[in-house]
Amino acid sequence: MIIVKLPNGQEQTVVEAKDGFELTTKVDPKRELGVIVFEFDGELFDLSTSLDSLAEATSTTPNADRPESIAITLVSAASEKGREVLRHSTAHVMAQAVLELWPGAKFAIGPSIADGFYYDFALPNAARFSDDDLEIIEKKMRGIIKSNQRFTRQECTIEEGKVLFADQPFKLEIIDRVEQASGDDIDIAEGVSSKGISTYRNTETFVDLCRGPHVPSTSRLGHFRLMRVAGAYWRGDEKRDQLQRLYGTAWESKQALEEYLARLIEAERRDHRKLGVDLDLFHFPPEIGSGLPVFHPKGALVRHLMEDFSKKSHLASGYQLAWTPHLAKSTLFEISGHLEWYKDGMYPPMEMEGATYYPKPMNCPMHILIYKSRQRSYRELPLRLFEFGTVYRFERSGVLHGLARVRGLTQDDAHIFCSPSQLGDELTRLLTFVVSLLRMFGLDDFEAELATRPEKSVGDDKEWEEATQALEYALVNSGIPFVVAKGEGAFYAPKIDVHLKDAIKRRWQVSTLQVDLQLPQRFDMEFVDSDNTRKRPYMIHRALFGSVERFFAILLEHYAGALPTWLSPVQFVVLPVKETNDDYANLVNTKLAAIGGRSIVVSATEPLGARIRRSKLDKVPYILVVGDRDEPAGTIGVNRRDSQSPDTDVALEDFLSLVESEIAPNLVGGPN
RNA sequence: GCCCGGGUAGCUCAGUCGGUAGAGCAGCUCACUCGUAAUGAGCAGGUCAGGAGUUCGAAUCUCCUCUCGGGCUCCA
């Protein structure tokens, strides 16, 4: 007896079926459900897999009776698991096409990834793919798909595998690696385990090392597109060969493919680098250097609003301001350990009057010096020092990305010094502060990562354990969903990274909270406790925006440039219908300014429609039209950014009281 | 840093076979005085990213450099 769960959620019972094909045919004779693989006991299998063998495999003893019933879930192409399979299968077809087009090409690995797949190749004679090749490969792939080739699974021993892939060095390396490793299932994803090798063969000439499963035949594929060619290091190791990686996307239907391509266009529309130019916010002058932006008046105003809001919220939450310079002598970074651990990321030194100066890559050492400027009492703790600190990091040229990854960045940086017993509560309080501040920017879909000790790190295990526990305590207390990222911590501290999802569900890392037990030691920090003994404070590093530049980019992309009113550089545009309405327009403008609004008047030197269009393109929240009709009545026409049709004859005073709460933010944080 | 692809007016782009550069928008001037997403005319705007080479002649072909985009690696 087989209990079958269909992709549409229904359940059916089937008395007997020898394999997935037969089962599918019985429950879906017209093949309307698009079943490509099935799931049993949490694992996916080819439809050709014998159900008898599965049933036997689940018996606890070899001779026991077979279980009375087994549960099978049929997986359609139009599900997350199904798409993974079909993308993986499409990757295989791509490899087959490349190997046919470039005889002698070596192929490495080709997994499915979010929204698509890739495959890595090394072409003969160090040849390289060009963008034009994508079209040729796509054509070949369509031929393979049309010829309806079956994906046939074959299992063999490691020795047989070595013969089969004798001319494929990357495949051999995968096999060798498993053979040499003591563990059981290391490379199972690539079709090799200590038990043997699984392969999939489509034709006499094309066979790939692979765990599977796959779609039954190539005819189930077809809604795909090759996207781009890129370089990728073999095994992700930059000391090894750089292979050519081809990226593609694949979907269960033409419609799904088109929706995906539309999403890419939507993301492009939101690209902060494009919006930065269109809205006249910032740019990267080549004369200054890569990764070093300048902010134009409108962009600088938005920055100011962000920073001002943040600064006031911090002051209202028990932080004190600090200000520190951009350069320091090498001694400081020797003590802090930056020169030992992080030199590659620092700008090169400058020599002056016999001393060596470095631009600072972080603010923490300087904040520590403020702490150490005099003896500290337990009564002062927690001591919270906050600064918009501009730091310089030598990011490699290839990683720069608009405002999201720059070489000169401003952190909304604070360091909290507290006693060991205060740590847990301070972290909880901090997380609450983080979330409420981010919410004020209209972001409310968070997930945290608790990053634990990496291999390359300093300090003893007990301290790491203690700090990690304090972070976890805070996460649990604050109720933010989190996952543990093992070994992803900083070299000196475990951390919480807060990620958020933007309006089109993209994940961005923003805030980071780190518990540092190293720097207090390195700087020999202390406080006098209530029992008159000297103790070492704990230290928390934290940045909520992460960097102002990066956060700016995230906001722009989240809002597609249409920033909330309180952050909009221009909140109101007042448009007199005719020049004779200028006086009234100016009056409206003055009243808006009086409640703190940022408003401009654009006189009637152009037709009204043109001026409205321009303001709409500038994404101004409110366009206010005033004409002959309004002047005697004390009204305005209100054209909202998010609306197609205007509200006319709105009483000015009503409008003013309506928008007053919208033009400035509410502070986050309360009395300490 | 590495791989692939770009760089032509402020922006978006055209430029054929190598014969010395073009459009729309934006800008400026003038006219138009307008009720909810583009008024009209005129003007101006270029070391075709920079440098070197091939050629009688280079935006166009070759090489180098800079820079941007997509990836890889990296992100204390």
Dump the DSSP string for A153-215: EEEE-HHHHHHHTTT-HHHHHHHHHHHH--SSSTTGGGTEETTEEEEEESSSS-EEE------
pTM of the model: 0.89
How much is the ipTM here? 0.91
> How long is the CA A129 to C1' B7 vector, in angstroms?
22
CA of A91 to C1' of B60 (A): 38
Give me the pLDDT at residue A672, please.
41
Two tokens, residue A647: 């509200």
Residue A156 is among the residues annotated as catalytic for this protein: no
User: Whole-number Å distance, CA A614 to C1' B38?
Assistant: 9
Dihedral (CA of A80, A84, A89, A95) sign? positive
For residue A438, give the H/E element and its range: helix A423-440
H/E element, A637: strand A635-640
Nucleotide in closest CA–C1' contact with A641: B37
Out of A106, A171, A314, A415, the active site residue is: A415
Residues shown for chain A: 672
pLDDT in tens, A217-234: 999 998 999 988 888 999
CA of A140 to C1' of B18 (A): 36
Domains detected in chain A: 2-76 (3.10.20.30), 81-267 (3.30.980.10), 296-324+363-558 (3.30.930.10), 327-360 (no CATH), 565-663 (3.40.50.800)
pLDDT value at position A63?
56
C-alpha neighbours within 13 Å on the C-beta side of residue A544: 26
Q: Which of A96, A411, A422, A571 is catalytic?
A: A411
Q: How far apart are the first and last CA of chain A?
A: 66
Instruction: Say what the pLDDT of residue A65 is.
Output: 60
User: Which nucleotide minimizes the distance between its C1' and the CA of A509?
Assistant: B75
> How confident is the model over A308-320, as a mean pLDDT?
95
Provide the CA A409 to C1' B10 distance, Å, integer.
Answer: 27
A401/B69 CA-to-C1' distance in Å: 10
Q: Decide if A514 contacts A542 (C-beta within 8 A).
A: yes
Active-site position among A106, A541, A558, A619: A541
Contact indicator for A382, A411 with CB cutoff of 8 Å: no
Q: Which nucleotide is nearest to A451 (CA to C1')?
A: B76
The pLDDT tens digits of the residues spanning A443-462 come to 989 999 999 988 878 888 88
Provide the pLDDT for residue A67. 64
User: Which nucleotide has the shortest C1'-to-CA distance from A624?
Assistant: B36
Residue A497, CA: closest nucleotide via C1'? B75
In Å, how far are A446, A484, A499 from A449, measured between CA atoms? Answer: 10, 6, 8
Q: Which of the nucleotides in strand B have any atom less than 7 Å away from a protein CB atom?
A: 1-5, 11-12, 31-39, 66-76
Distance CA A213, CA A85 (A): 7
Condensed to tens digits (0 to 9), the pLDDT of residues A631-653 reads: 999 999 999 998 888 999 999 99
Backbone conformation region of residue A384, classed left if phi is above 0, alpha if psi is from -120 to 50, else beta = beta
Higher pLDDT, A308 or A343: A308
HSE value, Cβ hemisphere, 13 Å, CA-based, for A653: 2
Distance between the alpha carbon (CA) of A287 and the C1' atom of B20, Å: 29
Please say if A210 is a catalytic residue.
no
DSSP conformational letter for A19 = B
The answer to whether A364 is a known catalytic residue is yes
Which of A153, A220, A223, A393 is an active site residue? Answer: A393
Residue nearest to nucleotide B10 (CA to C1'): A277
Residue at minimal CA–C1' distance from B37?
A: A613
Average pLDDT taken over every residue of chain A: 90
* A411 tagged catalytic: yes
Whole-angstrom distance, CA of residue A592 vs CA of residue A598: 7
